[in-house]
Structure 1
Amino acid sequence: MRRISMDGASMGARGLWLSLAWLSASTALGCGRREALPASQDPGAERPAQPAQLAPPAQPEEPAAPLQESRVERDGLSIAFALRPLDRGQQGGGSGLGAAPAAAVAGSDVVAEFTITDASTGAPVRGLTPLGWMSRRAGADGAAAARFSGGAPVASLASGAVDAAPDEAACRGKIKSFMAGLLSVRPEVDMNAYLLWTLNQDNTLSAINPQVALARTQLRSVVSLAGRGVSFVMHPDRESLYVTLRGGQGLAVVDTRRGLVRTNVPVGQDPSRVVVAPDGRTVWVGNDGDGTVSVIDARSTDVLKTLPVGPGHHEIAFTGGGRAAWITSQQGESVAVVDGETLEPLGEIAVGEGVVSIAASDEAGVVHAANAARGEVVILDVARRAVAGRVALKPGLGALQFDPRGRFSFALNPAANEVAVLDGATGAVAHTLTGLAAPDAVTFTGSFAYIRNRGAARVSLVDRSALGGPAAPPLVDIAVGQGPPLAAAAPPGPAALATPIAPLPEGNGALVASPADRALYVYVEGMMAPIGTLPSYGREPRSILVEDRSLKEVRPGVYATTVRLGEGGLYDVELLLDRPRTGVCLEATVAPARCAPGDGEADASGCGGDPVKDIAIAPLFEPDLRLAAGEPATLRFRATAGEGGPPLDALDVEDIEVMVVRFPAGYRFRGAPRAEGDGTFSVSFTPPAPGQYRFLAAVPGRGAPVGALPFVPLRVSARGAGARVGGAR
């Protein structure tokens, strides 16, 4: 096997994903004529749709009415901007939060949407890569924003209350500042956001926010889990992460927006692999300890069915867009096939004991299953649900994955230090890649396959365009870090469960997690070495996912993303286009946060009085409740509108959250409580060690952040030290 060495010194961070070439195009930036449109008017073009939160239904629904719109014409383009309410009922793990709001409200999540058409023909302009921001205009305080109703901006604001709209030079300057990532100039809303989620060696997830141009990093949040994570996956709507946990803690459902555990779902014993069905409606968890697979409703998080599939480790693949699920059992003899809609068994295919991984290709109409002990890949015909052939390789096979086109499958063999590339259509071995160091994971971009070497501090790249040729493509080695993954302090988990490489959203590079170095490396294709390093803040990152919240073309000429609004006020909406190189500024108005019942007349902050006084949290457990370390506990409390007031339900306090901290420092748990009705909420957590803890509830959207409401003390004793004391659990 030919090998091309590309070791070299790091060239430094030069901006992770947004090119500074935009800055040289500043002369093309400017602001065009603006026209505010009421929400009820239709400019004549087809209404754009909000981005799908799950797979689109068979009959597309009409998009939600815009909360407000504005429009600009520039360089032959007609550009409309709208804020639309999120369809909460479509979100994975959502609870259905009632009717859509009538206005864009501060602190709320909405869909930010640009519709770009040809100004003369009305034809949609496709294939753009827009960048967008929202910046609060100077002087646009909550009092000004309060004079707004029905989602449309007011005709005028109080004289002198708000600065004038930026001219072309000011618009150009703001966009240049945002592109440069200056600390002194930050937008309130960034529509180009990326978050990096890492599954660490301890019982945490980290959310890291890499900044534009200067490659600064920000640890946005650390999510404490009830147990050590095994594997994780992100829902297509990007609102939820699903993490399987060791120690009988089930499946954690993490709210990516709020950075906390929404709920823990009880599943079978020793859950391991977790996958989301292609349509986004179900989540499948392989329970290695009891030979079952749990199928969970992504919206309600209810367990729909528990499927007996055979003993041992389970891997899951889908064919037909999710119409059939193929499930392996490492200690069983068969691959089970299950109807993805009805969850009824379709049959079993005898393949022999020892299958450790599985991959499917709708393009080739086959499923490949790797048998580690026998050293073979079993070819399964999807249409006939039968064995179509067996490919003899070497014992020790591990991860198996098809490339994005479904043309070739990569069978990794860490024991033999090689990778076999199989032709999906024929099942024949197209190439054998040798000279690797315990390859255990593979990820793909549009041009390359990235292979992680578990036994060496390098990643090997394979040119995908050369896979169709007669000769094996050369390996391009990129030095990553100082130590191999095997040198990490804590031993790595099952190799097949690792996802240590994630493609960059642009598809021209990858992020590589290095547990031994406790760092993340950023590599852009064509470079001699990684261009930058992101710290993992002292934790060992085992797997990594990229949460891409940038603007995407969700419909011809419609570019949208979900954003969280800032404070109330008048905003400039800055948009930068690549074809033609054009920058424009539009407008949007954000209403103050919703006032609590009885707040009365709005003041400068949007609500009158002290909103904290209008919320009361009463624990339904006695003070000094004593819990046992390592044992799950359920705490209940009641939320009312003030002392002795009516109970609050999930619609009244959408963002209620609970924090349990070990005092004075140490363990910290954050979770979204489950509404039980009549103002009662509950949250479950497992205290890790004996000590003094504090229970805190918060409702940030109602003016009660963490610390505003009184805490409740908790005592945690060693397991088995004595009976629990102190009330309901």
Structure 2
Amino acid sequence: MALLFALLPLPALAGGGVRQQHDDQGIAIAFETRGDDTDTPVEFRFALSDKASGRPISGIRPAAWLGLRDDRAAPGQACKQRIANYLAGDLFHRADVDLNSYFVLAMNDEASISVVDPLFGFGGSKLLALLTLEQPGLDWQLTPERERLFVSMPAAGKVAVADTRLWNVERSIATGPNPRQLRQNDDYIWVADDAGLTRIDRRDLSVQRVALGTVRDLELDARGEKLAALAGKKLIVVDAHSAARLAEIELPGTPQQLAYSAAAQAVYALDAEAGQVHAVDPASGRLRASIAVESGAAQIRFAPDGRHALLPNPQRNRLQVLDAASNAIVQNADISGAPDQVAFTPLQAYVRRRGSEIVQLIALDQLGRTGQPLNVAEFPAGQNPLGPAPADGGDSIVAAPEGPAVLVANAADKMIYLYREGMAAPAGGLRTYGRVPRALLVVDHGLREGRRGEYTARMPVPKAGSYDVALFADSPRIASCFRLDITDKRPPPPAPARVVALDPPAQLKAGIPAELRFALLDGADGRRRSGADVHGLAFLAPGIWQNRSTLAAAADGSYALRFTPPQAGLYYVWIEAESLGLARRHNQFLVYEAK
């Protein structure tokens, strides 16, 4: 593996960052960063082109890592060995920052979202975080920057906003009653609810309401400029920037679902009960056609070509193909096991069946051949039937970044399975740690191609230092390293408060209410400090009982933790306050004995 290290440094970028370039076996690599400190995420950019022709090298998936420099090793050997270690998954030589990471999110039956890192290895993956929601989630939208996740919570009447870098819920935003489907364009998250539409600014989280009555479903056009809302029998077209009404049409029957065809530039409304699909021009609000389909369809979804829609029908064990060019059903397939949801990769359609664990595949190049049968392949996604797909919510089959592949949630198995196209069985499974996954979402923090030949990622670098940035691709073969210096411009954190017990009791009595008083003293001058986020935690060793409560400061600045020890034993007590440097389970705990 030949490595070239003739780096040509270019001027530093405004706002911090570096720009370097060199050649590697006939490939020109321009490396650029924006940001050079630990305070904000750093944007990494690699532009790859053929040195001889200047043409961008597109359609590959390069890998990149950051490792603190080892100045003792020879530069070429250090880079070559680092890349070999990273590719081998050597746990003793892991990258300090991995620019290839992606995470699988599972929306659970309970009010939580599991965050799993599949790169630790399928079958032995690690649960990174559990996002706790006020109520169970239904639908979600990830922003294009991959840094914020919006989750509708119908029972709470709110949308949760989660940070996908820190993996926490930032806040919850009130909407109209019963928020359901979410859609987004460049500026806004749109929410369907029982009062109409709620529009949330993706950046500052400001809210605007659009009164339309109960909105059953909504859909955006390909450019994100017009939004179609299904309110009762009416399809209302709204300007997706100004929120002004543009057109309105009353449809026959009671349509329940919308889908947008980019090829036909039309919105399709499915009335499953009546067996009708209505095609509407969103520009004029004019009804183009009404198409007869079999009643009982659970979904209408267009393939990536935007022309052919699939309608899985669990009542009739059928799958129908609608051609938006002719506005007619052109193919039918008998599929047993109650098909109720479809998902797509660039090459395949995946048909989920609620009565079976077997997922069926249909090659997309078969679609649209009028009257021709559909050849169906299949693979098992677990041991138990998949059960009903989530109604009105997220998908339980999603494309995986390591494509062509998909991830499949099996609620009964409490597992997520990875299937690679061309295989007869899943490549492995992710455990959900006892939780029931209903829908899946992939958050890809790795390098991704934007403009042709340009691969970018945005990632925080938490530790200051001098790094080797290693870039690797298999075809064409690339193995190169760059240097990056990261500084820490943040002021040093203040010393955490000291927790001091005031008049501690000699012992506690089981079954008798106890009051433990504390003061929080400044680490520098010893003055009493207070905060709005002070909590008390008491648990009985070895953790079989615990009590957590919010504490308020008394007039003298002290805090009182009150609880009743349920039985004799040793009780560990923490006073926690993030604002005072007392994170959860810090090292200033106290121990009391109850008799």
For the superposition of Structure 1 and Structure 2, which TM-score range results when normalised by the shorter chain? 0.7 to 0.9
Residue 522, structure 1, aligned to residue 495, structure 2: no
Residue 324, structure 1, aligned to residue 324, structure 2: no
Please tell me whether the aligned partners of residues 104 and 115 of structure 2 are also in contact (alpha carbons under 8 angstroms).
Answer: yes
Residue 365, structure 1, aligned to residue 265, structure 2: yes
Distance 1:515 1:207 in 2: 16
Deviation per residue, 1:50-102 (Å, 9 max, x gap): xxxxxxxxxxxxxx6552234433223332323213xxxxxxxxxxxxxxxxx
Query: What letter matches 1:129 in structure 2?
Result: R
Matches within 5 A, 1:55-70: 65-70=15-20
CA, structure 1 residues 449+556, in 2 after alignment: closer, same or farther (shift >3 Å)? Answer: closer
Residue 232, structure 1, aligned to residue 137, structure 2: no
Structure having the higher Rg = 2
Match of 1:477 in 2: 378
Q: CA RMSD in A?
A: 3.4
Matches within 5 A, 1:656-675: none
CA apart distance, 1:110:
1.1
Within the candidate set 45, 58, 77, 2:27 is matched to 77
Please tell me whether the aligned partners of residues 177 and 185 of structure 1 are also in contact (alpha carbons under 8 angstroms).
Answer: yes
CA apart distance, 1:501:
0.6
Match of 1:409 in 2: 309
Distance 1:507 1:698 in 2: 41
Match of 1:444 in 2: 344
Distance 2:538 2:161 in 1: 23
Residue 283, structure 1, aligned to residue 185, structure 2: no
Within the candidate set 209, 212, 219, 1:309 is matched to 212
Indicate the SS of the match to 2:146: coil
Indicate the SS of the match to 1:465: helix
Distance 2:533 2:407 in 1: 32
Which of structures 1 and 2 has the larger relative contact order (alpha carbons within 8 angstroms, sep 6+)? 1
Match of 1:129 in 2: 61
Distance 1:408 1:642 in 2: 69
User: Which of structure 1's runs of 4+ aligned residues deviate more than 6 A?
Assistant: 212-215, 614-617, 640-645, 656-662, 664-668, 692-695
Distance 2:53 2:369 in 1: 46
CA, structure 1 residues 540+213, in 2 after alignment: closer, same or farther (shift >3 Å)? Answer: closer
Match of 2:290 in 1: 390
Matches within 5 A, 1:583-594: 583-592=479-488, 594=490
Distance 2:81 2:467 in 1: 16
CA apart distance, 1:511:
0.4
Match of 1:248 in 2: 156
Indicate the SS of the match to 2:180: strand
Please tell me whether the aligned partners of residues 347 and 363 of structure 2 are also in contact (alpha carbons under 8 angstroms).
Answer: yes
Match of 2:556 in 1: none
Distance 2:336 2:165 in 1: 39
TM-score (norm 2): 0.82
TM-score (norm 1): 0.68
Deviation per residue, 1:288-307 (Å, 9 max, x gap): xx342211111111212x22
CA apart distance, 1:381:
2.6
Matches within 5 A, 1:673-688: none
Match of 1:553 in 2: 449
CA, structure 1 residues 573+434, in 2 after alignment: closer, same or farther (shift >3 Å)? Answer: same
Residue 116, structure 1, aligned to residue 116, structure 2: no
Deviation per residue, 1:273-324 (Å, 9 max, x gap): 12222x2x1111111xx342211111111212x223333x621111251111
Distance 1:228 1:666 in 2: 27
Match of 2:503 in 1: none
Match of 2:234 in 1: 334
Distance 2:437 2:276 in 1: 31
Please tell me whether the aligned partners of residues 370 and 400 of structure 1 are also in contact (alpha carbons under 8 angstroms).
Answer: yes
Match of 1:263 in 2: 171
Q: Which runs of 5+ in 1 are unaligned?
A: 1-27, 41-63, 86-102, 139-161, 487-491, 597-610, 618-639, 648-655, 669-691, 712-729
Distance 1:426 1:259 in 2: 46
Distance 1:118 1:658 in 2: 59
Deviation per residue, 1:575-606 (Å, 9 max, x gap): 1133431211221112236223xxxxxxxxxx
Match of 2:368 in 1: 468
CA apart distance, 1:423:
0.2
CA, structure 1 residues 410+134, in 2 after alignment: closer, same or farther (shift >3 Å)? Answer: same
Match of 1:34 in 2: 7
What percent identity do the matched residue pairs reach?
30
Q: Which runs of 5+ in 2 are unaligned?
A: 500-521, 547-571, 590-595
Indicate the SS of the match to 1:227: coil
Please tell me whether the aligned partners of residues 284 and 294 of structure 1 are also in contact (alpha carbons under 8 angstroms).
Answer: yes
Deviation per residue, 1:635-677 (Å, 9 max, x gap): xxxxx998899x9xxxxxxxx9999989677999xxxxxxxxx
CA, structure 1 residues 295+537, in 2 after alignment: closer, same or farther (shift >3 Å)? Answer: same
Matches within 5 A, 1:166-181: 166-167=75-76, 169-181=77-89
Match of 1:698 in 2: 578
CA, structure 1 residues 462+284, in 2 after alignment: closer, same or farther (shift >3 Å)? Answer: same
Matched residue count: 540
Please tell me whether the aligned partners of residues 138 and 392 of structure 2 are also in contact (alpha carbons under 8 angstroms).
Answer: no
CA, structure 1 residues 493+436, in 2 after alignment: closer, same or farther (shift >3 Å)? Answer: closer
Distance 1:173 1:33 in 2: 18
Query: What letter matches 1:300 in structure 2?
Result: D
Indicate the SS of the match to 2:12: coil
